[in-house]
């Protein structure tokens, strides 16, 4: 299974994310954006219209005739829309945000967990143009770039491109809630309208009860003291040290849950869990035992453990994540910053979301928009420095170390 790392949708970056999609659609043709900007500046693109699943427009040719263009976006299926509306229903704020013609990162995350990406992938864009160039032609690409502005100004238009209006979503949400309620209260003779009426005076006149007392959280995890005198049976394949390690881990996880600093960790994948457990053992022979357990080399386990210790799950994700393409400007600016910090330009290589320096250090831009600095040791990339939103901060942290 591959972990797909996708760029989170941020409101301020919406236009940029859309433009990035279009650049990829053009096959990363660097002239796409400047050509489009020129066409937009010269008002060659007219009648730009966005309707359900479709962007249309016309391109004024030098002979003053027009090319008619369409860009169809793959619509979500009914069952995908069911999943989307169920996602919207998980939080009242989602619906409120949609009604304000906005999309929040949180909703984007909720939909992603349902395998729904609001931003279309280039493979989900289908172009036609009355010119005879290969699709997507430069007219269509310019139209698509021109659409960035109306899309950013009215983000729910992206959902319209997936096939439904906000009104449709609200109606579907209401219909499914009505279905749930009527199923639950089938026996009740009351009608939907009657039941939903509660006088505000009676709702607000209810006495407020005292909040329950929350027990104080211990300041640190406890330690195991007493232990049965007898060793586990020899044929049980379990020894005291292993049991002690398991029990200590359970105590620490239980404390972390009670203190609200972590979840149970029971949902972690096996190598992630191994990384977590290996943290305290870097430098000891236990690392070699743990490596044997999952049949990998010890340096790999050390790499997993340091990534976990330095940056938690996101550090681990990035260790094996496939490359992706952030906005070109972000990567180029970082490349120049690294060169300005004293690196020889010829030793700095930019590839997708990674900048490699002298084949020994990598700066990777994560899907969480943080910069991660990796160092090559014993053939494995190690993460020793906490990530930061700016490449300058990562370079400064390296200096402090
Ligand atoms: Zn064309």
Q: With beta carbons less than 8 A apart as the criterion, state whether 80 and 148 touch.
A: no
Domain-located, residue 333: yes
What pLDDT is recorded for position 4?
33
Starting at the earlier edge strand, list the strands of the sheet with 45-51. Answer: 45-51, 54-60, 66-73, 125-129
Rounded distance, CA 4 to CA 342, Å? 34
Last residue of a domain, one of 169, 191, 216: 169
* Range from 6-10, 46-50, 350-354 carrying the lowest mean pLDDT: 6-10
Judged against a pLDDT cut of 90, whether residue 266 lies above it is answered with no
Output the pLDDT for position 340: 92
- How far, in Å, is the centroid of ligand 1 from the Cα of 131? 4
Is 216 contained in some domain? no
pLDDT number for residue 192: 46
Please tell me the distance between residue 48's alpha carbon and the centre of ligand 1 in angstroms: 15
CA of 42 to the centre of ligand 1 (A): 17
Same-domain pairing of 35 and 140: yes
Distance 165 CA to ligand 1 centre (A): 29
Residues of the chain above pLDDT 70, percent: 90
End of a domain among 318, 342, 358? 318
In this prediction, residues 263-267 reach a mean pLDDT of 81
Strand residue runs (E) in 61-177? 66-73, 125-129
- In DSSP notation, 81-115 reads HHHHHHHHTT-HHHHHHHHTT---HHHHHHHHTTT
Domain of 128 in residue numbering reads as: 11-169
Question: Which of the pair, 17 or 211, is modelled with greater confidence?
Answer: 17
17 and 105 both lie in a single domain:
yes
**64 alpha carbon – ligand 1 mean position (Å):** 14
From 147, 169, 191, the end of a domain falls on 169
Asked if residue 76 lies in contact with residue 84, where contact means CB atoms within 8 angstroms, the answer is yes
What pLDDT is attached to residue 196? Answer: 56
Judge if 298 and 349 occupy the same domain: no
What confidence score (pLDDT) does residue 72 get?
A: 96
- Inside any domain, residue 189: no
Do 371 and 278 reside in the same domain of the chain? no
Report how far ligand 1's centroid is from the alpha carbon of 140 (Å): 6
Q: Residue 240 domain-assigned?
A: no
The reply to whether 186 falls in a domain is no
From the CA of 129, how far away is ligand 1's center (Å)? 5
Interval 103-159: pLDDT, tens: 877 888 889 889 999 899 999 999 999 999 988 999 999 999 999 988 888 888 999
Rounded CA gap, 338 and 328, in Å?
A: 16
How far does the centroid of ligand 1 lie from the alpha carbon of residue 34, in Å? 16
Higher model confidence: residue 241 or residue 82? Answer: 82
139 CA from centroid of ligand 1 (Å): 4
Assess if residue 187 is contained within a domain: no
Q: Do 108 and 67 share a structural domain?
A: yes
CA of 158 to the centre of ligand 1 (A): 23
- Domain-located, residue 185: no
Could you tell me if 269 and 381 lie in one domain? no
Report how far ligand 1's centroid is from the alpha carbon of 32 (Å). Answer: 13
pLDDT exceeds cutoff 50 at 209: yes
Cα gap 207→217, rounded to integer Å: 29
Distance (Å) from CA 138 to ligand 1 centroid: 6
* Residue 193 falls inside a structural domain: no
**Same domain for 314 and 329?**
no
Q: How many domains does the chain have?
A: 3
pLDDT, residue 249, reads 87
- 298 with 351, same domain: the answer is no
Say how many Å lie between the CA of residue 66 and the centre of ligand 1.
10
**Would you place residue 92 in the very low, low, confident or very high pLDDT band (cuts 50, 70, 90)?**
confident
Q: Are residues 270 and 357 in the same domain?
A: no
Q: Kindly state whether residues 122 and 21 are assigned to the same domain.
A: yes
pLDDT band at 186 (very low <50, low <70, confident <90, very high): low
Q: Write the DSSP string, 28-49.
A: S-TTHHHHHHHHHHTT-EEEEE
**How far does the centroid of ligand 1 lie from the alpha carbon of residue 74, in Å?**
20
Strand partners, 144: none
pTM: 0.46
Rounded distance from Cα 53 to ligand 1 centre (Å): 20
**What does the mean pLDDT of the chain come to?**
84
Answer yes or no: do 20 and 109 share one domain: yes
Q: Are 361 and 287 in the same domain? A: no
Whether pLDDT at 6 is above 50: no
């Amino acid at each position: 299974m591959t972990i797909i790392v996708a760029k989170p949708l941020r409101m301020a970056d919406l236009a940029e994310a859309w433009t990035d999609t279009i650049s990829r659609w053009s096959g990363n043709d660097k002239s796409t954006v400047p050509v489009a900007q020129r066409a937009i500046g010269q008002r060659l693109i007219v009648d730009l219209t966005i309707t359900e699943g479709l962007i249309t427009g016309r391109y004024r040719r030098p002979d003053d005739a027009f090319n008619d263009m369409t860009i169809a976006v793959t619509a979500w299926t009914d069952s995908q829309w069911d999943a989307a509306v169920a996602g919207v229903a998980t939080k009242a704020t989602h619906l409120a945000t949609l009604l304000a013609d906005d999309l929040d990162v949180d909703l984007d995350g909720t939909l992603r967990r349902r395998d729904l990406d609001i931003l279309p992938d280039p493979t989900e864009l289908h172009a036609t143009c009355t010119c005879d160039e290969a699709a997507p032609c430069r007219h269509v690409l310019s139209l698509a770039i021109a659409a960035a502005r109306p899309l950013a100004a009215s983000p729910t238009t992206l959902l319209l491109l997936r096939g439904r209006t906000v009104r449709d979503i609200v109606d579907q949400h209401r219909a499914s809630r009505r279905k749930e309620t009527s199923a639950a209260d089938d026996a009740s003779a009351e009608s939907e309208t009657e039941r939903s009426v509660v006088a505000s005076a009676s709702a607000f006149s209810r006495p407020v009860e005292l909040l329950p007392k929350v027990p104080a959280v211990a300041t640190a995890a406890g330690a195991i003291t007493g232990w049965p005198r007898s060793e586990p049976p020899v044929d049980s394949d379990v020894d005291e040290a292993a049991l002690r390690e398991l029990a200590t881990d359970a105590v620490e996880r239980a404390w972390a849950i009670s203190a609200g600093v972590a979840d149970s960790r029971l949902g972690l994948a096996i190598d992630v869990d191994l990384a977590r457990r290996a943290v305290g053992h870097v430098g000891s022979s236990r690392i070699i035992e743990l490596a044997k357990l999952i049949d990998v080399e010890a340096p790999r386990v050390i790499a997993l453990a340091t990534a976990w210790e330095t940056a938690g799950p996101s550090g681990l994700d990035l260790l094996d994540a496939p490359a992706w393409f952030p906005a070109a400007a972000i990567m180029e600016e970082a490349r120049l910053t690294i060169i300005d910090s004293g690196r020889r330009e010829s030793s700095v290589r930019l590839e997708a979301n990674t900048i490699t320096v002298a084949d020994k250090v990598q700066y990777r831009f994560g899907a969480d928009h943080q910069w991660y600095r990796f160092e090559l040791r014993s053939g494995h990339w190690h993460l020793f420095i906490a990530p930061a939103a700016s490449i300058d901060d990562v370079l400064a942290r390296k200096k402090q170390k």
